[in-house]
Amino acid sequence: MKKEMLTGNTAAAWGARLAEVDYIPAFPITPQTEIIETLSDWISEGDMRTRFVTLDSEHSMITAAGAASATGVRVFTATSSQGLMYGFEMLYTVAGWRVPLVMINVARGLSSPITLGPDHNDILAARDTGFLQIHCENCQEVLDSVLMAYRVAEDEKVLLPALVNLDGFYLSFTREPVEVPDIDSVRRFLPSYEPSHAFFRADQPMAQGVAVLGGAYYSYFKYQMHLASQQALGVYKEACREFEKEFGRKYDTIEQYRLDDAEYVLVMINSFSTLGKAAVNRAREQGIKAGLLRPRLLRPFPEEDIRNALKGKKRVAVVDQNISVGKGGILFSELASCLYNEKHRPLLMSFIGGLGGKNISHEEFAFIFDQLIKGEEAEVETPHLLYTQHEWEEMQKLKEIAGRV
């Protein structure tokens, strides 16, 4: 095991390298490019024995990835934002093929307006496709999650593709010390892929992705995918235990930060959770019993673990880094549906922040805790967009320049 300074992107590339993937179909998009460039370099320098091919679009890339996986090799690919959208049709298709490829999404806001900063509308749009979803806070977690994603996706009880998400810029280009495991321990944790289900062989012809005529058959296969995804919860937990045994790092479906005695809880995902944790520390210094819950796994959704973690909590603020236009925060809806049948459920408040990479300041977190403490007396609209006076004024200046005031 060695420690290296890696960006989130190179940590993702290391994950693929250590998983000894057979095949990488690629298409570039900012801020994902560093992943495929790194892998391409390693392959051309002989550090990886992997077939690398550049496709004509993400739609083709995801198709090639799925088709190769269906033929029986271990496949890795990566995309971002509009790229994920462009290949979106094929997310459903390859998930239906029940093939265990792993794809990175480097989260980035969606057009329009076009931007490069991150939010989670891209990845969360894919939550219903059948892909498993692991969300990462730091670079170490990115590398580790790629290994875990294969472990879970390739399990015979699961056989679904997986998306590993990291935030563009905030994590993709953040350099952190990352423990790069040695190949022998990775091989113990993740042996080479020997499919017993999906493959094309001359002596065993198979029709894959065939039409089903009739809702009853369609329902059957869709529900099988749902059950497989739910099975993935247990498989993932088992993978976490074995991962800890092999590498010493502990993961779970959720991360609980100062949550034991907390009364006021932030729910956040991905790299901005680090800001949330700092806010929890500051709130604690002021005597507020604050804590943070970070779901790591979003599909399957770890409902039971979330319910247990939030048992007895007074108030919960879901800080969504996404916006479902016409509804509000997507995670808020997920949390609300998860807690609805609880007898004693905490008050849930919805905040939307960090869209397109907009910073969430100390003051804004202080405002959130202030509102949580006020509880039902709080005077915010739901969902409440986190937006400072200063940002508002800056926006007015731009509008003046554009001549549309």
Q: Which is nearer to another protein, 25 or 83 (CB)?
A: 25
> Does residue 171 contact residue 138 with C-beta atoms inside 8 Å?
yes
Give yes or no for a contact between 31 and 79, defined as CB atoms under 8 angstroms apart. no
Instruction: Considering the complex, state which of residue 211 and residue 401 has its C-beta at the smaller distance from another protein.
Output: 211
Contact letters (x/-) for another protein, 202-221, by CB under 8 A? xx-xxxxxxxxx---x----
Preceding amide of 113 cis, omega within 30: yes
**Cα 280 from Cα 317, distance rounded (Å):** 12
> How many Å apart are CA 200 and CA 336, to the nearest integer?
44
Within 63-92, which residues bind another protein (CB under 8 A)? 63-73, 75, 89-90
Q: Which stretch binds another protein (CB under 8 A): 10-18, 60-68, 171-179, 360-368?
A: 60-68
Q: Is the Cβ of residue 24 or residue 149 nearer to another protein in the bound state? A: 24
Interface mask toward another protein for 89-118; x: CB under 8 A: xx--x---x---------------------
**Cα–Cα nearest to 61, from 97, 30, 86:** 86
Min dist CB 20 to another protein, Å, is 11
Angle at which helix 362-374 crosses helix 273-285, to 10 degrees, equals 60
Nearest residue (CB) to another protein, 68 versus 164: 68
**Contacts of another protein in 212-271 (CB under 8 A):** 212-213, 217
Stretch that binds another protein, among 59-67, 127-135, 247-255, 365-373 (CB under 8 A): 59-67
What's the token pair of residue 8? Answer: 């989130």
CB 261 within 8 A of CB 289: yes
Q: SS3 for 147?
A: helix
Cβ at position 217, least distance to another protein in Å: 6
Q: Are 383 and 355 in contact (CB under 8 A)?
A: no
**Min dist. Cβ of residue 36 to another protein (A):** 16
Interface with another protein, residue 363, by CB under 8 A: no
Written as six digits, the tokens of 297 are 């796994």
Contact 267, 228 (CB under 8 A): no
Residues that bind another protein (CB under 8 A): 22-23, 25, 51, 53, 55-57, 59-61, 63-73, 75, 89-90, 93, 97, 200-203, 205-213, 217
